Amino acid sequence: MSDQDLAEKLVSVLQRPDGNTNLRPVHSIGISATGFFEPSLIARNFCTADHFCNDRSDVIVRFSNGSGAASVHDGWSDVRGLAVRFHLSDGTDTDLIAMTLPEFFAPTPEGFLEFAEMAAPKPYHGQTPWQKIAGLLQLILPKRDPYPGETISPDDGAIEFADQNAFAQLGVMQAAQIGAPVSYVREAYHAVHTFIVTGEDGTKRWVRFYWQPIAGVLKTNPAATPVDDYLRQELKDRLADEPARFSLMMMIGEVGDDFNDSARPWPPHRKRIMMGTLTLNAVPKDQVAQCEKLSFNPGLLTDGIALSDDPVLQIRIKAYEVSSEWRGATPCPFSKG
Ligand code: HEM
């Protein structure tokens, strides 16, 4: 199968029956915000990309819920996304796309395709109390009950896939426990893949990025009845009062770490560099042009930062282009060449 065919297949498989083809097939519900990025004093030693060398770069970001459903269920347990576009001094842009899962579900596009096929939403059934007790006796955690109004879910298929494919177990287990944040700015977001950065002295390093919220991570109470629609208003209210900040952290890989498999974590004691601070202080009024119609792409990079050979990262470049075109969005600058 050509990369184009595989990308198209991936995007079709991700589309949900309760989605809307004018929206993104995943991360469908979201809100954008604007602000700026300021690099730390040591950032340029590690990466010569424009936004790590200038005092300040303007940014637009999009926060999102991971689900492809067109209805808003902020309070449901779900992965969240943070896509950041840095506006560079020469008028070009670069993107860094991240999510709340630190590791992905599969090491290859083909593995992810199988996962996505199996995890297509199916009627969701809870467990009886007896089934939960029987499971606990075998050290199996009980399944959560469906949320009010939840009829279909990817959970059963994802768990079945993880039972058969060890590589998916970490991602599926983390996704199952992820919960809902009190605010989009009270989550940590991971860019997941390995990128190659070049420092001022020419040294190349294999690195993974993540955003750490300066206010800290804070989830809602999982036992409370979930509220459907609060995250976008919370962000507008918050930023009208005060800015929100994230630190951009960069983990440096070492020999033996897996650079091309985003389903595998690196050891937790890898060196971490604080690369800069993201400050968000406004929500654009036009949430159609400045959010819904925007297209981010993990391949939109700039000198000083390059893609690793991770095959999932490579196929995402095509998949996001296909998706942007199918939903009639403004093409990413990457697609314009
Ligand atoms: C083969 C693997 C993957 C495929 C096929 C895939 C596919 C997609 C597609 C089709 C979209 C919608 C793009 C658009 O219409 O603009 C999307 C959005 C998104 N994906 Fe992925 N994805 C993959 C892996 C990942 C990974 C590893 C991450 C985490 C870093 C991620 C995070 C996101 C986020 C945050 C968005 C929303 C971006 C926005 O706000 O515009 N995805 N993905």
The pLDDT of residue 335: 64
Burial class, 116, CB count within 10 angstroms (exposed 0-12 / middle 13-18 / buried 19+): buried
Instruction: Report the C-alpha gap between 135 and 299 in whole angstroms.
Output: 44
- pLDDT, tens digit only, all 337 positions of the chain: 899 999 999 999 999 999 999 999 999 999 999 999 999 999 999 999 999 999 999 999 999 999 999 999 999 999 999 999 999 999 999 999 999 999 999 999 999 999 999 999 999 888 999 999 999 999 888 888 899 889 999 999 999 999 999 999 999 999 999 999 999 999 999 999 999 999 999 999 999 999 999 999 999 998 898 999 999 999 999 999 999 999 999 999 999 999 999 999 999 999 999 999 999 999 999 999 999 999 999 999 999 999 999 999 999 999 999 999 999 999 887 665 4
Q: DSSP string covering 107-137, please?
A: SSHHHHHHHHHHTS-EE-----HHHHHHHHH
The pLDDT of residue 336: 53
The pLDDT of residue 138: 92
Residue ranges per structural domain of the chain: 3-109+168-326
Contact residues of ligand 1, CB 6 A cut-off? 10-11, 14, 24-27, 30, 62, 64, 81, 83, 97-99, 104, 109, 112, 191-192, 262, 295-296, 312, 315-316, 319-320, 323-324, 327, 329
Correct CATH for 3-109+168-326 of 3.30.1390.10, 2.40.180.10, 3.30.420.40, 3.30.470.30:
2.40.180.10
Instruction: Report the C-alpha gap between 93 and 189 in whole angstroms.
Output: 20
State the distance from the centre of ligand 1 to the C-alpha of 140, rounded, in angstroms: 31
Side-chain half-sphere exposure of 106, counting CA atoms within 13 A: 21
Are the C-beta atoms of 168 and 199 separated by less than 8 Å?
no
